Structure 1
Amino acid sequence: MSEKKQDPQVSMAASFIAMRGVRIFLNAGKGATEKRTSPTRSRRTKAAVPGNKLQLNVMEILLKNTRFAKNELEALFLMYRRLVAAAQAAAPATVVGQPVPKIEGIDQNTFRDVMHNTFDLVTEDVVLDRVWLTWDRGANGGEGALKFEAWARGLSVILRGNDEERRAHCFAVYDLNGDGYITRDEMFALLKNSLLKQPGDEDPDEGVRDLVELVLKKMDVDKDGKVSVEDYRAAVEQEPLLLEAFGQCLPSKRHSATFLKNLTIKP
């Protein structure tokens, strides 16, 4: 979506919010243990935090498969470790005799917090859930927690991806059933919470259906009633604003730049 020009005071405020998000990310472990059940009813074990140092073979792979430099990957790994440790510490305590659940990676709640607080991805739940589900997990696949390699690859796409990578990311988010098309029903599901409904509307979804038809007219290049990958690419190349037509799934340039600028700052 296009960004509106702001006056200097608004821009400074927005930058402050973005930098605050980065600090939240960098200090993700603070305050994570405040909410607990009674210690007499629970047993906790030491959290299994990822190793202190990024393995050389993983570093070499990510240097080839991402757009991050060595020092940036090291900083990302430090953040990753803190996020995992915070999630493990915040896991609900269990009844005595039951094992404490292990979170081996970035879980969905942590992912949501980072997307909201660090990258200001304020979007509909259905879109954010799809961002989570489509994040490339490599050989592991599935919906489980994100290991560091998957985390770094995903951040590389949303922060420094080229046009094709960004289009592929957005299309995968919008293709709810993964069949290679964005249909009317999928558009409706993505857009139905984005419009304000007026009191007394006989058919509150009518405006959404009208919007779907309008967007479909713009993006359905071959006029077959649905948007294919090729349709989407052609439409976005002609009108870049259509990249996130069905909901925000990429950070703004401002928030991306702020995060990357502070990436190598050690706490």
Structure 2
Amino acid sequence: MRVGIAGARGRMGRLLVRAVVEHPEAVLAAGSVRAGSAAVGADLGTLAGLGPIGLAATDDPAALFAAAEVVIDFTQPEALGRHLDEAIAQRKRLVIGTTGLTPDQERAIAEAARTVPIVFAANFSMGVTLLAALVRRAAATLGPEFDIEILEMHHRQKIDAPSGTALALGRAAAAGRGIVLEENMEAARHGHTGRRRDGAIGFAVLRGGQVVGEHTVLFAGASEHLVLGHRSFDRRVYADGAVRAALWLAGKPPGLYGMEDVLGLA
């Protein structure tokens, strides 16, 4: 399958280029960088630390989508609209791993998925996907007498909080309880907060160093605690999962899919 990488100069973009080049069932078709970037015209293999592969980086999203059968997008939220437009106009498959999106942007993804097949996930790790399934089951089984708290830690450069993965875990817990996360989340506590609100799903955020990603979901009962967690030690796990999702989209009808679909857990 011919795969295009949006944001090929970024940290995840470089890993995605490597993952595609090294995958026996994928072919790197194109890679894009920001308009005006010094990397325009640079060899994509060189950018990824592989050495020259004969493909130059473009800053034209239309050219990126034209060259590929599926595009993987781990760029910034502000680039999403143009990429969705190109996917729809050219009827191309899309894998989206961008986090920090607004509700309007998430609705735009759902609308685009009526025309083209899209895999959208906050985390493309197989372990995290399984963790979300376990969190949902635990939340449904343990009942409201167990308080739910989600702790996440990432590197100091991360710009959104709580992380997209933490929010996804929160939505899994909320689904298990049959509630809406946005109506029951406590994302920050400071000062004299009063007692914990019954049924709340709490979040705590840590930032520092170069932590790839750590997520813990705590179910706290009066007499026992259940702790479910996941640690990532290499960002390559996300790149490999995204390429797996891209290949899985072959032959799929328009629709909005998640990694649980890719792994057969839906």
Q: TM-score normalized by structure 2?
A: 0.27
Tell me which of the two structures has the higher relative contact order, counting C-alpha pairs closer than 8 angstroms and 6 or more residues apart: 1
Structure having the higher Rg: 1
More strand by share: 2
More helix by share: 1
Q: TM-score normalized by structure 1?
A: 0.27
